[in-house]
Structure 1
Amino acid sequence: MRIVDVNEIYSPTGGGVRTYIDRKISVLASMGHELIVLAPGKEDRIEHRPGGGAIHYIKSRGMPFDSNYGLFWDPAPIHARLDELDPDVVENCSPWRSAWIVLNWQGRAIRSFFMHNDNLEAYAKRWFNRLASEERIERAFSWYDRYLQRFLREFDTVVTNGPALTRQLTARGVRVDTTVPLGIERTPFSPSLRDEQLRAALLAQCDLPPDAHLLLGVGRHHPEKRWPMVIDAVQRAGARVPVGLVILGQGMDTQTLERHIGSSPHIRLFHPVYDRARLAKIMASCDAYVHGCGTETFGLVPAEALACGAPLILPDSGDAAELANPLYTESFRERDAVSCADAILRMCARDPAIVRRAAAVASGTVRTDETHAAELIAHYEAVIAAKSGLSLPHAAHAARA
């Protein structure tokens, strides 16, 4: 099967979506399928991947306020590339112009809208939560749900990447055909990678001794990640116990976060770590992973941290909350720095050996991206079969031919 993903939110400097797509290309290739991504770029170029699959960058305009991403506008180069590639499935995840570009292409492939996020949760509710209740915000932005319904009815299937996102959308009457939760590449991640010398070195970077508590956060510097709330919580908890925070990431809010941290020596911003083995070692060496975003639709990074045996400090909403377990998690009210600080203090008060042992046991249960890919392919084969009127084995053969 050949899948082409017309994906405006893929960027070589992106976060969770880039991680998911890069690994998905490799996993599908190992299963005998091919994934090609059409992504906005500063120039036209093709980046082939070992084993199969590729990223086709198509010269496009940049996205305002975030230079990491671009926007598709002209349908002609997208349609020409789709004609050339002749896929079995075309995926799309942006609800704006690229969705209509995909729908207006005259090709044989089934169209799949793959939901990576919910803009109402990620943006409207974040922007206006201090001014109105969630119910009022949903009513005010009901036009967005009507807009989603308008174009989603034209897609052959609508897929979400986690149960929390499915619950949010279906509660508002938005079409969802199936949920295929994401997974992680578990191979690089292991509790055995814990390095006490690395832990002590990171605490020293935070001007703290080895007997202090080391928290880790990973993600781009963007308002939806709620790093200022996490920083406030760590500073509040730090008035009671010695605790340091290391945040790996970059983005549009880097200077804002630097100002928010101020003169505190116990919170450090470091560049993203793209080397998976190095990232896994850092995750395994922290005392807990703290996650601020309560609108995450899956939470790849918390899942990776758990696969390294890191205890978790999580908001009580979003799909990251699906990972929570009292044996190795402390939860807090989303967007609430005081509640987050209390969760940090509770984690610091627990026996570290016991809570890490519980997280290490749970590390082996983290869902894999191989499982995700296999379920997604099975779903696409069923949609192709239903649309073609063939039995499933015949449709699968036709899609691979």
Structure 2
Amino acid sequence: MTQLNNQTQAQALNPPPRLLMGPGPINADPRVLRAMSAQLIGQYDPAMTGYMNETMARYRKVFKTDNQWTFLIDGTSRAGIEAVLVSAIRPGDAVLVPIFGRFGHLLAEIAQRAGAEVHTIEAPWGEVFTPEQIEEAIKKVQPKMLAIVQGDTSTTMCQPLEHLGDICRRHDVLFYSDATASIVGNEFKTDEWQLDAVSVGLQKCLGGPSGSAPVTLSERYVNWVRKRKKVEAGIRTEGHKDGSEPFIRSNYFDIPMILDYWGEERLNHHTEATTMLYGASECARIVIEEGVDASIARHALHGSAMVQGVQALGLKVFGNLEYKMNNVLGVYIPDEVEGDKVRGQMLEDFGIEIGTSFGPLHGKIWRIGTMGYNARKSAVLQTLSCLDACLAANGYKGPKGEAAAAALEFYAHG
């Protein structure tokens, strides 16, 4: 037993080959992985500070913004969400969270942990909100912040945001969106839509690994968190009559401190995750090289081809297709097959992963992604052919052998 354990400990890491066609993470672009293999340098090396500035400039283009404060939070996409919310929310602040899937519930939880008085409205899974519904809730709640997901992979829906900025400005509400699953795969215009804060991750349409959370912050947001910290620092010096703690409740996610780290002062806050910065910067470079709008069009093309393929098999697509994200779709599992068994065979026999589902959709739909490096024709055709074969092997009674042909027809003439 001891000899076996020693042998196991000595084995090199060698993950099995997989084609990740679920809702994320996806296979990282090889160019990103190559960038991440570069040697480390000191965090105050002029070359490193140059890379940081370059990364900020690249993500301004990705977010379509002129925001000076566009940088990385070290951590997965959830770290970006937490940094934005924890830094802005004072205990007792009203925050409105429209929920149309699992990740709306996540925003509500994080806001609640930050001490917010959280108010939610909910849309049926597979639908989104109208601007009128959100404005009505804002008038009722009078929140300090509107926090909303753009693309929720749990339902595959993409919430329209273009009218919400005007609404938030009219009612003096900070406007934040998590766009982790949707950025560069679906239209997103930070400045034109008047967003105050946006956070994303790399592991979806940006084509990288999880572990870095690009964010962009408006001057309005930055002034709010800096003013808040300055005022509360003075309050703490004078003492709290009610014994409450006014400071931003996290050191790691303290946005004003992180601004000083990324700004000209370069004040020490943490040791930058250099390898992740290399990867995040390369993700942005690749998108800029292709063109942000071209990236969105590519995701729309291959996402539509996937839809055509599954519909040719007689499978029903979940949700309101008018608001479906370009890069992921939900597919109802046929009654006569066992969903997990089909997924298991796809993974074990073909090395292709598709996603299961959450909450009220658990066991009812598969989720299939076409995003980032995997938003390409060969990946779509492989996945459709594999799904076709595995359905047939598991007793599916619908059409067979039609999926790849339908996708090819769409690519040729769609």
- Sort the TM-score into its range (normalised by shorter chain): under 0.3
Structure with a larger share of its residues in strand: 1
TM-score (norm 1): 0.27
Q: Taking CA–CA contacts closer than 8 Å with sequence separation of 6 or more, which of the two structures ends up with the larger relative contact order?
A: 2
TM-score (norm 2): 0.26
* Largest Rg, 1 or 2: 2
